[in-house]
Structure 1
Amino acid sequence: MATFFNKPMLSCLLFTACLGLCFLSSVAELERFWQPVKADGSLGFLVVGDWGRGGHYNQTEVALQMGFVGEKRDIDFIISTGDNFYEDGLTGIDDPAFNESFTNIYKAKSLQKQWYNVLGNHDYRGDVEAQLSPILRKRDSRWLCLRSFILNAGDIVEFFFVDTTPFVDKYFTDPEGHTYDWKGVSPREDYLSNLLKDVDSALKASTAKWNIVVGHHTIKSAGHHGVTEELVTRLLPILEENKVDVYINGHDHCLEHISSTDSQIQFLTSGGGSKAWRGDVKWWNPEELKFYYDGQGFMLVQMTQRKAKIVFYDVFGNALHKWSISKEICSVA
């Protein structure tokens, strides 16, 4: 039986359909991956950032300690918080820096797990598409790098990897004359608006016990770069509204833990993968600044549905700072 619509009804239907398609398209922008958890329902991973220097500036020594801790704690994967290749990213998919700074450095057996990587500002100075290329994934199956994406780890935690470099105004008018690869980002405002909508929608739809957002740039930091105002203005309100538990970043070449007094968010900086900035620290409210180390190292995170634990390690494998938080598990009668 045929169905007829008058013009107002048809217009309304078309408008509704358009909204639905736009919503689906927006959500689909964030590709989703799945990470299995252990049989006991636990999860462990390392976080390292700002590392890609061909083994120099103690990158090799940090990698060695990562291997030891990774084996002892039986980690499941590794997160990189960006600036994967200094100084100017990769020149292309055949750039030897990929092997020199990644494959040949993180050789320990425990580090032969999936690496989930975001881009940093130095990566944007090279060929961004090279780091995103599936060819690199074939060359080293551990490598997975996208601009922004979602990682599900059972019903324990959902990770939201966010491309933060395009938020920063100064990279578009860099007085130092650096060239950035903005292919896939222009027009910038459309890119950022869609990304923020995607992150907000995905966070609202999350059913995981923990929500963790990963980006390269700092939101709160006492380090050299300090606060990234563009993220405070545009991204932070979304994280707070959706009650994100942790924001993990690199960019400042240090190890740092700031516990927000304004929300439940813990701000964790792991940017000590190679070159560190000794003594480059600004004053920060001691009520929030739980830990700051101006040296090289990395972070370990272990999680269950009930508890999350973090440990910061230095280049010698010393545990510098430990912190944990628990959550209640709601049961259905």
Structure 2
Amino acid sequence: MASSLNQRMVFPVMVVVGMFCLLVTPSIAELPRFKHPPKKQQSLNILVLGDWGRKGTYNQSLVANQMGIVGEKLDIDFVISTGDNFYEDGLKGVDDPAFYQSFIHMYTAPSLQKTWYTVLGNHDYRGDVEAQLSPILKQKDSRWLCMRSFILDGEIVEFFFVDTTPFVEEYFTDPGEHTYDWEGVLPRLAYVSKLLKDVDSALAQSKAKWKMVVGHHTINSAGHHGSTEDLKQLLVPILEANNVDAYINGHDHCLQHIIDNNNGIHFITSGGGSKAWSGDVKPWKLEELKLYYDGQGFMSMQITKSTAYIIFYDAFGKVLHTWSISKDRNVAAWI
């Protein structure tokens, strides 16, 4: 592989370069806010998974098993799901057996019996959206917490979960053979405008040491879908203006870590929960692309007041990539 900063990567390789009580409080803006009770340990420990719900196929069960092992080792606080929770077309309703087949009966390890903070993906919008948002699912499994957009307050870090599917104009203008459930979203422009205002307001008023945004769709990505221009135009200026540390997403079925040279934001893709796209990678600046792995897997985060440690694992638990992000961005480096 060439080392010139001007050359691009054009081939698929890995670049080496229990339940907690949820406290609901009024939000700063219009976004619902949840406070995750702190533990005595020094760090907040999290697993991040995306694009997973395939009833155990495409190595979903292997990934779930390794998540249980890593989750126990880290004594995780909760799990973040970056969307596309149920394939191919979301849930049919609150009684869809896929909720059991792809979630309840899949993530059975004791360490994974923690809250799953979940956003919707584009495949979820092809089903009954209200089913995933329904409190009935939480009655079936108390771990489940899914909303369109919300804030999770972990004291030293705040996660801002953003419903990114309505940002993508193509789903509205050229849906192809797919049918999307837009109830609660239309009119689209008003929905997106209000959401942007609420996210901007909440980020601006946040006093957390770390500010991280979670959405389903990619912003910067060398994967199959690539960068989402609608989000780059509308959401990135808000991330930059409010000194967001990281944007975490799924959508591309890979594991990926990009550090944007222009704004220093870490763009982290954890979309390897089941089906992956081998060899499907676009050129990207090597000085920005710290990891591209075209297989299944997941990610862990350990966050302290001064440092966020991220680790990517494959479906067999092998560590693929580690990185430490310092609050002094000039110190961020390999672990």
TM-score in terms of structure 1 length: 0.89
In 1, Cα distance between the equivalents of 2:76 and 2:158? 17
- Output the CA distance in 1 between the equivalents of 2:205 and 2:80: 23
Letter in structure 2 aligned against 1:89: G
Task: Give the secondary structure class of the aligned counterpart of 2:323.
Answer: strand
Aligned Cα root-mean-square deviation (Å): 1.2
Give the letter for the 1:279 counterpart.
G
Partners in 2 of 1:175 and 1:114 — Cα distance?
Answer: 33
2 CA distance for matches of 1:150 and 1:138? Answer: 22
Deviation at 1:138, TM superposition (A): 1.0
- Distance in 2, Cα, partners of 1:105 & 1:42: 27
The DSSP-based 3-state class of the residue aligned with 2:80 is strand
Structure with bigger RCO (C-alpha 8 Å, 6+ apart): 2
% identical equivalent positions: 70
Secondary structure of the 2:194 match is helix
Q: For the residues of structure 2 that align with 1:26 and 1:245, how far apart are their CA atoms?
A: 21
Question: How many aligned residue pairs are there?
Answer: 303
Letter in 2 for 1:264: G
Structure 1 gap segments, 5+ residues each: 1-24, 329-333
In structure 2, what is the Cα distance between the partners aligned to 1:244 and 1:180? 31
2:66 counterpart of 1:65: yes
In 1, distance between residues paired with 2:29 and 2:130? 20
What is aligned with 1:242?
242
Q: Does residue 140 in structure 1 map to residue 141 in structure 2?
A: yes
Distance in 2 (CA, whole Å) between partners of 1:224 and 1:40 is 39
Corresponding residue for residue 47 of structure 2: 46
Secondary structure of the corresponding residue to residue 160 of structure 2: strand
Letter of the structure 2 residue corresponding to residue 309 of structure 1? Y
* 1:60 CA drift (Å): 0.5
Q: Secondary structure at the match of 2:300?
A: strand
Contact 1:244 1:264 in 2 (8 A): no
Q: Equivalences for 1:283-322 in 2 at 5 Å?
A: 283-322=283-322
Higher helix proportion (structure 1 or 2): 1
Residues 134-167 of structure 1: CA deviation (Å, up to 9, x unaligned): 110111000000000000002x100000000000
Choose 1 or 2 for highest CA Rg: 1
* 1:27, distance to aligned residue in structure 2 (A): 5.2
2:226 corresponds to which residue?
Answer: 226
Q: Extract unaligned runs of 5+ from structure 2.
A: 1-25, 329-335
Q: Tell me whether 1:161 sits opposite 2:161 in the alignment.
A: yes
Within 5 Å, give how 1:317-332 maps onto structure 2: 317-327=317-327
Say if 2:90 and 2:128, in contact at 8 Å, map to a contact too.
yes
Q: Take 1:130 and 1:29, find their aligned partners in 2: how far apart are those partners? A: 22
> TM-score, normalising length from structure 2?
0.89
Q: Displacement of 1:325 after TM fit?
A: 1.8
Give the counterpart letter for 2:65 in structure 1. L
4+ aligned runs moved over 3 Å, structure 1: 25-28
